[in-house]
Amino acid sequence: MLPEDCLSVILSFTSPHDALRSSLVSSDFRSAAESDMVWERFLPSDYPEIVSSSVTPLEFCSKKELFQCLADSVLIDGGNKIFRLEKSSGKKSYILSAKELSITWSSNPLYWTWIPMSESRFSAVGVLRTTDWLEIRGSIMTRTLTPNTTYGAYLIMKISDRAYGLDLLPLETTLEVGNQVSCSKVVLQHRQDKKQMGTLKGIEGNKKQGTVSERGDGWMEIELGKFFSGEDDEQVKMSLTEVKGCHLKGGLVIQGMEFRPKHHGK
C-alpha cells in the first residue's frame, strides 16, 4: 500500500478524467484523488488571473471545486470573453464576443445593430442590417492557450429569418499563423425554417475548414481553420470575408469566435 501523498503525486501526472475514474477504486484512491495537489496540477498556470477576471465571483473550497467551476465555463474580462476548461483533459478554450472582433462598419447603426439575445451569455450580439462589404476578423495569442495542442477556430453565428443576399456568392475563411495561411470557402444558404435560423454549406478547401455545423447551444458555427499552439508565442489571425460581390446582404447574427482543442477525427 502506498501512502496517500504518493498516490496523489502519481494521480497528478494523469488527467482529470483518469483521476475521477481512480476515485472509484477504493477509499484510499478517492481520498488521494480529492487532494489539492492533484487538481492544482490540472489547473492552468494562469488560473489566478482567470479567477480574478471573472464577472461573477467564483465560490469554491478546494482546487477540485475550482476546476469544476472553470469546466462549467465562466464569463471574464468585463463580460467580453468566456473561458472554459475541458473536463477530460483540463485544456483551455475561449470564446471572444462579437464586440472583441473587428467587424467592418460595426459601429455604424445603418449597417450593424447590437442587441441582447437570451441564447447568448454576452450582453449583445451583432446583427447585420445591410452591407455590400462583409469582413469579420479576430485574433488570439497562443500563449493564452494550452501549449502543444491542436486548436480549431470557429465563428459562432445564426442567420435570421429575414436574411437576404448571403447566398449569392461564397465567403472566404482564412486562418494565418506566422507565414502559414490556409483558406477555404463557405456558402450561406438562408431559408425559412421553424427549427433553425438558416442553413449553411461548406464548399471547396480541405475537409474541415469552411465546413459548418449546428452546435449544442442552438447556434451554428463555421470552422475557420486549425492551428498548433507550440512553445513559441504567436498571433493567430482568422477572418470571414466577402468583399468582391458589391451586392447588399443582411440577416447574419454574430455571437463571437471560439478557440477550442481539436480531437482526432473531429
Domain boundary among 15, 44, 79: 79
Please tell me the distance from the alpha carbon of residue 163 to that of residue 220, in angstroms, as a whole number: 15
Q: 126 and 73 in one domain?
A: no
- 222-266 per-position pLDDT tens digit: 999 999 998 889 999 999 998 676 789 999 999 999 999 998 655
- 124-155 per-position pLDDT tens digit: 999 999 999 999 999 999 999 999 999 999 99
Res. 6: pLDDT tops 90:
no
CATH number for the domain that contains residue 173:
2.60.120.260
Number of structural domains the chain divides into: 2
Q: 70 and 104 in one domain?
A: no
Supply the pLDDT for residue 229. Answer: 95
The reported pTM is 0.88
3-class DSSP state of 244? coil
Mean pLDDT across the chain, nearest whole number? 87
Q: 114 and 50 in one domain?
A: no
Q: Which residue stretches of the chain are H helix? A: 4-12, 16-22, 27-33, 36-42, 47-52, 63-71
Domain boundary among 27, 52, 79: 79
**Is 194 exposed, middle or buried, given 0-12, 13-18 or 19+ CB atoms closer than 10 A?**
exposed
Range(s) of the domain holding residue 188 = 94-261
Where is 183: in which H helix or E strand? strand 180-189
Residue 165 lies in a domain: yes
Q: 103 and 12 in one domain?
A: no
Please tell me the distance from the alpha carbon of residue 212 to that of residue 145, in angstroms, as a whole number: 23
Mean pLDDT is highest, among 76-85, 165-174, 197-206, 229-238, for 76-85
Q: 112 and 14 in one domain?
A: no
Please tell me the distance from the alpha carbon of residue 204 to that of residue 208, in angstroms, as a whole number: 10
Residue 232 lies in a domain: yes
Amino acid sitting at position 221: E
Res. 174: pLDDT tops 80:
yes
- 19-58 per-position pLDDT tens digit: 878 776 777 777 778 888 999 999 999 999 999 999 999 9
Q: 215 and 151 in one domain?
A: yes
Please tell me the distance from the alpha carbon of residue 255 to that of residue 122, in angstroms, as a whole number: 8
Q: What is the dihedral of CA 100, 75, 77, 111, to 10 degrees?
A: 20
Residue 134 lies in a domain: yes
- 68-89 per-position pLDDT tens digit: 999 999 999 999 999 999 999 9
The proportion of the chain whose per-residue pLDDT surpasses 90, expressed as a percent, equals 63
Count of CB atoms situated within 10 Å of the CB of 108: 11
What confidence tier does 90 reach under pLDDT thresholds 50, 70, 90? Answer: very high
Domain boundary among 27, 53, 79: 79
Supply the pLDDT for residue 210. Answer: 65
Q: 257 and 176 in one domain?
A: yes
* DSSP letters spanning 66-119: HHHHHHT-EEEGGGTEEEEE-TTT--EEEEEEGGGSEETTTT-TTTEEEE--TT
Residue 88 lies in a domain: no
What confidence tier does 208 reach under pLDDT thresholds 50, 70, 90? Answer: low
Q: 139 and 112 in one domain?
A: yes
Contact 249, 168 (CB under 8 A): yes
Q: 143 and 19 in one domain?
A: no
Supply the pLDDT for residue 192. Answer: 46
Q: Which three cell numbers stand for residue 77?
A: 474580462
